[in-house]
Amino acid sequence: MSLSPATRDPTRPETERSLDPEDWDAFAEVAHRAVDDAIELLRGLPERPVWTSPPSGVRERLSTGLPLEGRPLDEVYRDAARDILPYPTGNLHPRFWGWVMGTGTADGVVSAILQSAMNSAVGGFDDSGTLVEEQVLGWFREIFDLPSTASGSLVSGATAANIVATVVARNAMAGYDLRKEGLLERPGMRIYGSKETHGWIWRCVEMLGMGRDAFRAIPVDGDFRIRVDSLERAIAEDRAAGLHPICVIGNAGSVNTGSIDDLPTLADLCEREGIWFHVDGAFGGLVALSPMLKPRVRGMERADSIAFDLHKWGYLQYDIGCVMVRDGELHRETFEASATYLEPPGRGVQPGRLYLAHRGIQLSRSFRALRVWMALQTHGVRGIARAIEMNVRQAEALDERVRAQVNLELMAPTALNIVTFRYRPSSIAEMTEEEVDELNRELLHRIQEAGIAIPSSTTLDGRFVWRVANVNHRSTSADFDLLVTEMLARGRELEEER
Ligand SMILES: *Cc1c(COP(=O)(O)O)cnc(C)c1O
């Protein structure tokens, strides 16, 4: 029996046109050109400036109105190759160290093509996407030493992962049926984390209807780690005031400085107090891949939930993060929903519940797992771990170079892969702190705009500082040499201009 209906021929009537190409060979030519161009982009990176601002002609062409009629793909592709491809953010370049942006990998381009062609909706259907996501989540259980009952979900990033974990924590710790009754007229639940906790927490408590007062930002010590004595006091105060402490967030790699909280002590405290222990390991969590670095995040394996990104220190293409919940039942109970149109018929493509679609906010989910699967198969845990170890060594080397230069100044201890520093003018004694801040701001702009390198900045103890967050598998020590050389030369220029 032929499954191909007679209408499946190139002379389909106008009224039954699909969006597929009429000429697959012509399509293949454009598609192959796209692959070649993508490869050239990656191969040519070291010769390119780290970043180029899109020129005015490009800006004009990228602000034209809604296209009503289509054009041939090869024409559209020519426009994309001219106006879009040459102007990436820059985070794929070996001298991009801003924020915490990952580089992506070459194999990621291959998995993106397969993912896109297959367009699987990964929810628990009888398909390869569900098998691969299960396999990948199993690998994460192993990496983080979680029990087989732990459950997880691939999401858009650590913000989503942290929020999903907080919803599970909140529902599990509320002490009543929160899904039914909501938050009204209940004693205020409280969440704790250091004041270095990433901004996702504010979005989270606001969105969950708990309000900003629900998060208590605890002071840090000189190494930017949560002060456990202050935390204990805050919990006791809140209990005495009739409030309900439900969750402590431990940072495994804080966003500003890479500091790692004392996770074993936080785990002990949570156990003692009956509080949910969540670890935000957005980038730092993945040091668990390296036997050499893993001791630094000891205690993470005791967490009730862990959030981490794969598009940062996992080096994968945007956007992908992951949440793991120790007690898979609690994860399920938090999000499970039923609808007649989702009931499993029991056989065929949907043999059971679409359980993967009930572990967070998204119902329809893409085949993100393929990216992880392909990267881990290609590089192995060891390959990724080696790159992470290299990034830590490079950060330590930069730290040493900064400390050896009279015109550079380290601004916080380098905990992992983040170096915070600034240019220290020779005439610093005659300058106000604001003037030093301003000089460093201007210097950073110049280095970025010259396309030399992209560090970002932050404020530490009220001072403007440069921040190099190294999650870049393409950086070499020569790239850091160039940063230091240019920073010193252009810093002197700026001083002379004063
Ligand atoms: C980047 C980051 C986040 C947010 O992750 P996204 O992937 O940007 O959503 C949360 N916590 C920390 C510590 C981070 O560095």
| Counts of helices then strands in the chain (DSSP H, E) | 14, 12
Residue whose CA is at the smallest distance from ligand 1 atom 3: 158
Rounded average pLDDT over 128-150: 98
Half-sphere exposure of 474 (CA within 13 A, CB side): 23
Please indicate whether residue 282, judged by its CB atom, sits closer than 6 Å to ligand 1. Answer: yes
End-to-end CA distance of the chain: give it in Å, rounded: 84
Q: Which residues of 186-205 are buried (b: 16+ CB within 10 A; e: fewer)?
A: eebbbbbbbebbbebbeebb
Say which DSSP state 368 is in.
Answer: T
Rounded average pLDDT over 453-467: 96
Mean pLDDT, rounded, of the chain? 95
**Which token pair is 150?**
């732990």
Please indicate whether residue 255, judged by its CB atom, sits closer than 6 Å to ligand 1. Answer: yes
Q: How far is the CA of 177 from the centre of ligand 1 (A)?
A: 30
Number of neighbouring beta carbons within 10 Å of residue 18: 7
Please indicate whether residue 323, judged by its CB atom, sits closer than 6 Å to ligand 1. Answer: no
What is the spatial order of strands in the sheet that 151-155 belongs to? 151-155, 321-325, 305-309, 276-280, 244-251, 189-194, 215-218
Q: How far is the CA of 144 from the centre of ligand 1 (A)?
A: 18
Please indicate whether residue 283, judged by its CB atom, sits closer than 6 Å to ligand 1. Answer: yes
**Which token pair is 356?**
């993967």
The pLDDT assigned to 3 comes to: 63
Please indicate whether residue 286, judged by its CB atom, sits closer than 6 Å to ligand 1. Answer: no
pLDDT in tens, 245-259: 999 999 999 999 999
Rounded average pLDDT over 264-290: 98
Residue whose CA is at the smallest distance from ligand 1 atom 2: 282
Please indicate whether residue 259, judged by its CB atom, sits closer than 6 Å to ligand 1. Answer: no
Please indicate whether residue 159, judged by its CB atom, sits closer than 6 Å to ligand 1. Answer: yes
Question: What is the radius of gyration, based on Cα positions, of the chain?
Answer: 25
Rounded average pLDDT over 57-64: 97
Answer yes or no: are the C-beta atoms of 159 and 311 closer than 8 Å: no
Measured between alpha carbons, how far is 82 from 86 in angstroms, rounded to an integer? 7
Q: What is the pTM of this model?
A: 0.95
Rounded average pLDDT over 259-263: 98
Q: How far is the CA of 488 from the centre of ligand 1 (A)?
A: 31
Residue 243 bridge partners (DSSP): none
pLDDT in tens, 406-439: 999 999 999 999 999 999 999 999 999 999 999 9
The pLDDT assigned to 7 comes to: 46
Contacts of 87 (CB under 8 A, 6+ apart): 52, 53, 54, 58
Rounded average pLDDT over 141-145: 98
Measured between alpha carbons, how far is 110 from 115 in angstroms, rounded to an integer? 9
